[in-house]
Structure 1
Amino acid sequence: MSESVNAEKEADHHPYRRPVDAATLILVDRSGATPKVLVGKRHEKVVFQPGKIVFPGGRVDRDDSRIPVAQPIPPALEANLLRGRPKITPSRARALAVAAIREACEETGLCLGRKHGTSPALTGPWQPFADAGLLPDPSGLYLITRAITPPGRIRRFDTRFFAADASSIAHRVDGVIHAEAELVELVWVELGSKPLADLHPMTRNVLGELARRLAAGPLRHDADVPFFHFYGGKMQKDVLGA
């Protein structure tokens, strides 16, 4: 059964655009009494959500399904990604998880990977992994939510929001965050703190789901995964695959 979410409503100031697959990574630091999440402030001149506080993420690239990885995505994570419509392939599910890692490294300089015996043949956005002797490692990712941007927006994404523990960070690239970058600032903030109060409604929804999962203990693949999508003039919340 769908549940209406009042935070998002229909907009008609842009023509209909088909949403494209995207992935977002929420890094979680549980070393203290209250979990912290890593958020970034977007540049004021970017097209999508200028100046907003966001999690690192972006659209899936063509090569994301072919990049070698240190370990495969867990079968339970793949099963979660394959739920819902439109149906996707296991290769696409893998690409979504890998895209979350790539985007996080590109936008924050934080790379989730494992050491590899030989220098991996990675180039382009994956060069930092090759330089550090790493392969990307999606084995520690958990699917928290899926959300589709409502019609009428200048950009539309079918986004899978993943979470991973900060201990998965294997390499840091200096100089990624600066005044002219896509993200101009990074900060670790406690869940429920004031810096997280003025967020995009969907970002708040995702954080709420993450907080609920973390309150129940370590993240697990068998928890319900909410799916936020537009229907009947409002954003609806379903359980993915239900």
Structure 2
Amino acid sequence: MAVNGLRKSAPDSASKALARIRPRDAASLLLVDRSGGELRILMGKRHMRHVFMPGKFVFPGGRTEAADGRISAIAELSESDQTKLLTGMGSRSSVQRCRALALSAIRETYEEAGLFLGRRHSDSPSIAHPDWAAFVQRNIHPDLSVLRYFARATTPPGGLRRFDTRFFLAFRDAVADALPEATGPSQELEELSWLPFREAARLDIPEITRMIIREAEATLAANPSLEPGNAVIQYRMKYGRFVREVF
């Protein structure tokens, strides 16, 4: 979510082209373990082979695919969360796009951390997409109702990769199963760890990630059971700095 390091000046035409790049929809999940005396969140280190933020610690998440919005779920987003997602979409708003964002957060958490958010059922979910085959094999239905939308941030213009990321919170209690190797099949994240908020904020992370950690901690302090209806914090770049908005 941040531009790191220095970049050589590009010709005006190239700079203008970069500025016109539309951010891609993305979703990220802050999974919270409340089983002990102190809340902990799951973070992992991006592999050094990645072009985007190599070696940085992040939450599970990634690009949203259109197909995610067509995946069936055992329960849908709360009305409040769906309304807030729709409100921020402008002319491209749709319920399917809301679902795609939420479901991609669940899918990426499996792919990067090996954790299945959902509910096990006697019947297999009616999902034909190969990205969700592991859920079908385990009779686990994705559950959108456990997700709480709480923050949004857009990668600043000027880079080849831009993302409009929606951040969700959920409790570890919602994990129905986990891969035995304690990592995801994509192997994109290393050193997966459950960390107290203060420790997570001291990792090698972009500043916007640190801001999101603080927003998550504040959301949980005000709404410890993550009931629907919390405020959503939006960060966008204006005049070279992130501006914080609440809606």
> What's the TM-score once normalised by structure 2's chain length?
0.86
Structure 1 residues 112-131: aligned runs within 5 Å = 112-122=117-127, 123-131=129-137
* Contact 1:76–1:222 under 8 Å retained in 2: yes
CA contact 1:189–1:195 (8 Å) conserved in 2: no
Q: Is residue 237 of structure 1 aligned with residue 244 of structure 2?
A: yes
Matched residue count: 234
Structure 2 unaligned spans of 5+ = none
Inter-partner Cα distance in structure 2 for 1:39 and 1:200: 13
Cα distance in 1 for partners of 2:198, 2:167 equals 19
| 1:1-242 aligned within 5 A | 15-16=18-19, 17-87=21-91, 88-122=93-127, 123-175=129-181, 177=183, 181-193=187-199, 196-216=202-222, 217-240=224-247
Percent of residue pairs bearing the same amino acid type: 39
Q: Which letter does structure 2 place at the counterpart of 1:28?
A: V
Classify 1:167/1:154 alpha carbon distance in 2 versus 1 (closer, same or farther; 3 Å): same
Taking structure 1 as reference, are residues 194 and 95 closer, same or farther at Cα in structure 2, changes over 3 Å only? Answer: closer
Q: Is the 8 A contact 1:70 1:114 kept in 2?
A: yes
By relative contact order (CA 8 Å, sep 6+), the higher-ranking structure is 1
Most deviating of 75-84 and 104-113: 75-84
Give distance in 2, aligned partners of 1:60 and 1:197: 26
Query: Quick check: 11-20 or 92-101, which moved more?
Result: 11-20
Q: 1:194 Cα deviation (Å)?
A: 6.3
The answer (yes or no) to whether the contact 1:56–1:107 under 8 Å persists in 2 is yes
Shift of 1:198: 3.3
Contact 1:116 1:133 in 2 (8 A): yes
TM-score (norm 1): 0.88
**RMSD of Structure 2 on Structure 1 (CA):** 2.5
Give, as a single letter, the amino acid of the residue that structure 2 aligns with 1:153.
Answer: G
